[in-house]
Amino acid sequence: MRSFLIVIGILSSIFSFAQERDKALPKANKEYQKKEYQDAEAGYRVSASAFPDKSSAFYNLGNSIYKQKQFSESKNAYLNAAKNATSRVDKHRAYHNLGNVFMIEKNYTAAVESYKNALINNPADEESRYNFALAKKMLKDNPPPKEDKEKEKEDKKKEEDKEKQDQDKKDQDKKDQDKKDQDKKDGKDQDDNKKPEKPADKGEPKPESGISKQRIENMLDAVGNEEKKVQEKMIKGKERGKPVKVEKDW
């Protein structure tokens, strides 16, 4: 009996303590309805701190921060709400509002993903469907920039260097080919202009430079004719018995 009473006493104390700690959430809800968003935020923070595994305090905390236009700060509250939610309804609401924050920040990639998660938990919600389509359109019209700018510059430089190397190689190949073509052309022209030399006849004397062979033969014929004439005169002289003068009279 004594043990039973101790257990009852402990459970009663826990229940009473929990009820006392839960007073922050209802009070914050009333302040939210009065549009006293700062006071509501403070109450929701107390409730979320007391019950870190509950979804409702984080979801309402996100809403109160959102109403104060602290959009980036409200993201963590919605993320915790989606993480702690045990029902599809709570998950849908958290992801939908999280998508709204990303849309304001123009982070369309994250917005598309958030609205998609919202529709997974509630496919019939037309507002989530519309926002999902709008986020996809904005993402298409505004593609996200690359996160690693240094890598982008490095890749661009590598690409430019490769293009330059390829162009230099093409230019060098063209120069080499042009040189080969020119050398080939020059060699052909030399062959065309080169006349074959007539081999000298064996046993015949080569004529001196500047005197043709025919002229030399004519000269030899003339000399032979003169000798023949002289011999004929000598024969005639002998026949007449008179000496032949070989020198001219002065």
Average model confidence (pLDDT) for the chain? 78
Q: What is the pLDDT of residue 202?
A: 46
Q: What is the pLDDT of residue 185?
A: 78
Give the predicted TM-score (pTM) of the model: 0.52
Query: Residue 8: pLDDT band by 50, 70, 90 thresholds?
Result: very low
Cβ atoms 135, 115 nearer than 8 A: yes
Strands (E), 11-96: none
Query: Residue 98: pLDDT band by 50, 70, 90 thresholds?
Result: very high
Q: How many residues does the chain have?
A: 250
Cα 249–chain centre separation: 113
Instruction: Average the pLDDT over 191-202 and give the result.
Output: 52
Instruction: Average the pLDDT over 13-39 and give the result.
Output: 76
Cβ atoms 206, 200 nearer than 8 A: yes
Angle between helices 37-50 and 56-67 (to 10 degrees): 160
Cβ atoms 77, 59 nearer than 8 A: yes
Query: Residue 238: pLDDT band by 50, 70, 90 thresholds?
Result: low
Q: What is the pLDDT of residue 30?
A: 94
Q: What is the pLDDT of residue 195?
A: 52
Cβ atoms 78, 97 nearer than 8 A: yes
Q: ∠26-27-31 over CA atoms, to 5°? A: 115
4/68 Cα distance (integer angstroms): 51
Closest CA to 33 of 9, 72, 4, 67: 67
193/116 Cα distance (integer angstroms): 85
Sequence-distant (6+) residues with CB within 8 A of 170 are: none
Instruction: Average the pLDDT over 93-104 and give the result.
Output: 96
User: Is 87's pLDDT higher than 80?
Assistant: yes
Query: Residue 68: pLDDT band by 50, 70, 90 thresholds?
Result: very high
Three-state secondary-structure class, residue 128: helix
Residue 81: burial class (beta carbons within 10 Å; 0-12, 13-18, 19+): buried
Q: What is the pLDDT of residue 237?
A: 60
101/82 Cα distance (integer angstroms): 14
59/30 Cα distance (integer angstroms): 15
Q: What is the pLDDT of residue 246?
A: 39
User: Is 128's pLDDT higher than 70?
Assistant: yes
